[in-house]
Amino acid sequence: MPGYRAFGVIYADILERALANDDRDALRFILGHELGHIRLKHVMWWYNLLTFIGNMPGIQYLIGQPLGRAHGYGCDKLGYALAADRDCKGLLMLAVGKHLYRQINIDAYEKEHIHGSQYWASVHNFFIDYPVINWRIAAIRQNRHGDLFWAKKAKYSRIANKE
């Protein structure tokens, strides 16, 4: 389509904080994630039309929103491939904030947020079009595709037993 250009958006405060902290891994992850949307053609007009149709009332919870969650996981994999940061600093910045993310023990965070009941996280995940950040972190650290609808307890058992 003439005049149509693919682009990604990065919030200025996230970019500023990553540069101020000389946190190249977080910046690579975020850039890789955003470029992943372009590479995987999530920004093409025809793809957005299909997404629009999938988000029509009545079918949005079965097609549109799970498709958006799958997009998020796919782009996270590309961001991880670019940054190779198992500490997921780019996602932690979104989860806990741009000032505290460097102080978080990722193993303790993962155990705390994945080991417990996933009931409310599953309910929340069902109504949003992007995966819960804790599930995104777990998917990267466990090298797997994340859950689209609800958390499967068996996947998280190795974290619960790790002490």
CA distance 136 to 155: 13
C-beta atoms surrounding 80 within 10 Å:
23
**Is residue 152 situated within a structural domain?**
no
The domain in which residue 88 lies consists of: 12-142
**Is residue 137 situated within a structural domain?**
yes
Assigned token pair, 71? 């997009």
**Is residue 54 situated within a structural domain?**
yes
Backbone φ, ψ for residue 85 (5° rounding): -110, 100
**Is residue 47 situated within a structural domain?**
yes
Q: What per-residue confidence (pLDDT) applies to 5?
A: 75
Instruction: Let me know: does 46 contact 53? Beta carbons within 8 Å.
Output: no
pLDDT in tens, the chain (163 residues): 555 677 778 888 888 988 998 989 999 999 999 999 989 888 887 777 887 888 788 888 888 888 888 889 999 999 999 998 888 899 999 888 888 989 999 888 887 776 666 778 888 888 888 888 888 988 888 888 777 766 665 455 444 455 4
**Is residue 29 situated within a structural domain?**
yes
Q: How many domains does the chain have?
A: 1
**Is residue 5 situated within a structural domain?**
no
This model's pTM is above 0.85: no
Q: What per-residue confidence (pLDDT) applies to 107?
A: 86
Q: What per-residue confidence (pLDDT) applies to 68?
A: 86
**Is residue 150 situated within a structural domain?**
no
**Is residue 116 situated within a structural domain?**
yes
Residue 116 Ramachandran class (φ > 0 left, ψ -120 to 50 alpha, else beta): beta
